[in-house]
Amino acid sequence: MGETVRTLAYGAWPSPIDAATAAAHDGHPEYVDFVGDEVWWTEPRPAEGGRRTLVRRHVDGREEPVLPAPWNVRSRVIEYGGHPWAALPGEQGPLVVFVNFADQRLYRWEPGGEPRPLTPLSPVGGGLRWAEPLLRPERGEVWCVLEEFTGDGPTDVRRVQAAVPLDGSAAEDRRAVRELVGTTHRFITGVRLSPDGRRAAWIGWDHPRMPWDGTELILADVGEDGTLHAPRTVAGGPDESVPQACFTHDGRLLHASDRTGWWNLYLDGEPVCPREEEFGGPLWKLGSRWFAPLESGLIAVVHGRGATALGVLDPETGEVVDAAGPWTEFAPTLAAHGDRIVSVGASPRSAHEVVELDARTGHARVVGAEHDDAVDPAYYPEPQIRTFTGPDGRDIHAHVYPPHHPGCVAPGDELPPYVVWAHGGPTGRAPLVLDLEIAYFTSRGIGVAEVDYGGSTGYGRPYRERLREQWGVVDVEDCAAVALALAEEGTADRGRLAVRGGSAGGWTAAASLTTTGVYACGTIKYPILDLAGWGSGETHDFESQYLESLIGPLAEVPARYEERSPAAHADRLTVPFLLLQGLDDVICPPVQCERFLARLAGRTVPHAYLTFEGEGHGFRRADTMVRALEAELSLYAQVFGLHPPGIPTLELDR
């Protein structure tokens, strides 16, 4: 190998990872569950318009998609969605109920037939939406979270526990949908039933709290008439986040709470395995699961500090035994059946795949969506898990991906360009997994640093709370601290630093470009740019009061909303940038970008604004992702003086 290594400038390394390859591998399996002895999950299809299909793994190991195109198994409840399907085995084959993305109706499907609608369309606002279906065939019903728009505004909405008849009698008649209990909170998760069916548990919260700020665990009695009686709060509160709850097989209530500063588990209110690590996470999607009880009394857990592992917890001893294997990250989705546990795991060398763990033997294996190397793994980046020091001596967690190519090195006197990636949320985290978008850059000679800035999850509540009323300050400072530290230690070229992010990360990227002077350019994807507009009706209900904690109460600190907004400081922007936006985005709508560009009018800052029809919040279509990725690389090439072969030139307005 040593004789074939070529010396080429950073950015000029030829790579087999093109944008189409990266796009084809975007997204991952989600919402795993057992249907009898079979494992099922949803899976992305970027080449099919970005739809998600339902996949069934037969007992003999055969995988097959359950529903053909154009069926798209995805809920829009709280816009980020939730568990969109449920199924039960039957003599003639499984009974499946799912949410179809296009119309948000609930459908029933059985093998050999066509999906039949169970719920009506609504002409009001965003219509009727459903999540977390729970099949109750003995009652002839499926219980769900119903999100119902009461007007045309994004916050004209109510959410209730509802029962939908399985016979289709509600397909054209909203009155046939039965509400199980009156409204308890503005936001709710789906019902979990005790083994005897006599008790129900769910989680609720209200504005202005987000679910990682404070939620309440509700317990109710299930009446003979199938309604929920006497709902009462048994855990949680304004400053305590309960992200998941369920019942064990012997009827005890199991939940996670961060009352100690870490999401730990509690069984009938008593702590199980108290540790300074997370056994829960931020509830961005209804039905996220970090734990599942086994019939044996053990508990399957996705847990960790930063990166997550899949393990089995013995609540009697507090001991956790993790699955052996290459995986360094598990998603908040898992299910248990007998001694079998399934989840979705990934590593820096493998994309997300469905993993089954035998709780009896400790053996773990891939059973679905198995990772397949699209290119020679020698081109994959090798991440470094780093902790940097920020202002006030605070720790900043990050993953650093140096440029990496099996056949190329740069001239000895050249330092590589680096792009700082700011994750979305901002209450999120950068997972330690193989991401071909990162490899797309590193294999060409451009380094990437993913920063888990203050406010990120996975490191305890105090780390998360650093961003309280400090959004646009702490996140920007932490990203800059990592970028400058990489330059100072000789890892990165100080003159060739960029920042990129999407959604809340787009905000951080834009705020960084308008306030720091650290970066030579940046990529801003479906961002928040104008706080005053976004906080007063330009976004969806779920996040409509998020800024009350991220920035401060609008009624008390209105000036801060203007001061922090990148749109208010467009005149400070002096470096080239790329703006990417889906035209169907209701979370960060295009008007945010348009307002920002209008304030930039008349100034000669090189930039490009690319919009994509049919794309919402986060890109899902292969052709969109290809265009966006190539445009981003072209921006860096033009600004950093790079010469990547075969990349179309992005036209910049000047």
pLDDT at 423 over 60: yes
Q: Given this chain, do its domains 28-277 and 376-640 carry the same CATH topology?
A: no
Distances (CA, A) of 444 to 11, 57, 496: 5, 38, 15
Q: Going edge to edge, which strands form the sheet with 319-322?
A: 291-293, 299-305, 307-314, 319-322
The pLDDT value given to residue 654 = 82
| pLDDT per residue as tens digits for the range 568-610 | 999 899 999 999 999 999 999 999 999 999 999 888 899 999 9
| pLDDT per residue as tens digits for the range 488-497 | 999 999 999 9
The pLDDT value given to residue 602 = 83
Q: What is the pTM of this model?
A: 0.96
What mean pLDDT do residues 236-260 have?
98
What mean pLDDT do residues 521-538 have?
93
d(CA 14, CA 446): 12
* Tokens of residue 120, six digits: 């009506």
The pLDDT value given to residue 454 = 98
What mean pLDDT do residues 96-112 have?
97
Report the CATH superfamily, name and number, of domain 376-640: Alpha/Beta hydrolase fold, catalytic domain (3.40.50.1820)
Average pLDDT, the chain: 96
Q: How sure is the predictor about 2, in pLDDT bands with cuts at 50, 70 and 90?
A: very low
By percentage, how much of the chain surpasses pLDDT 90? 96
If DSSP codes are grouped into helix, strand and coil, which group holds residue 192? Answer: strand
CB-count exposure of residue 483 (10 Å: 0-12, 13-18, 19+): buried
Using DSSP, how many helices (H) and how many strands (E) does the chain show?
10, 39
Q: What is the DSSP letter of 556?
A: T
CB-count exposure of residue 343 (10 Å: 0-12, 13-18, 19+): buried
Cβ–Cβ under 8 Å, residues 128 and 120 = yes
If DSSP codes are grouped into helix, strand and coil, which group holds residue 183? Answer: coil
Domain ranges of the chain: 28-277, 376-640
Q: How sure is the predictor about 535, in pLDDT bands with cuts at 50, 70 and 90?
A: confident
Q: How sure is the predictor about 155, in pLDDT bands with cuts at 50, 70 and 90?
A: very high
d(CA 534, CA 543): 9
The pLDDT value given to residue 567 = 94
Cβ–Cβ under 8 Å, residues 454 and 480 = no
What CATH fold (topology level) applies to the domain 28-277?
Answer: Methylamine Dehydrogenase; Chain H (2.130.10)
pLDDT at 1 over 60: no
Distances (CA, A) of 180 to 170, 203, 222, 229, 297: 15, 15, 9, 9, 30
The candidate with the shortest Cα–Cα distance to 366, out of 348, 349, 343, is 343
What mean pLDDT do residues 357-366 have?
96
| pLDDT per residue as tens digits for the range 191-229 | 999 999 999 999 999 999 999 999 999 999 999 999 999
The pLDDT value given to residue 297 = 97
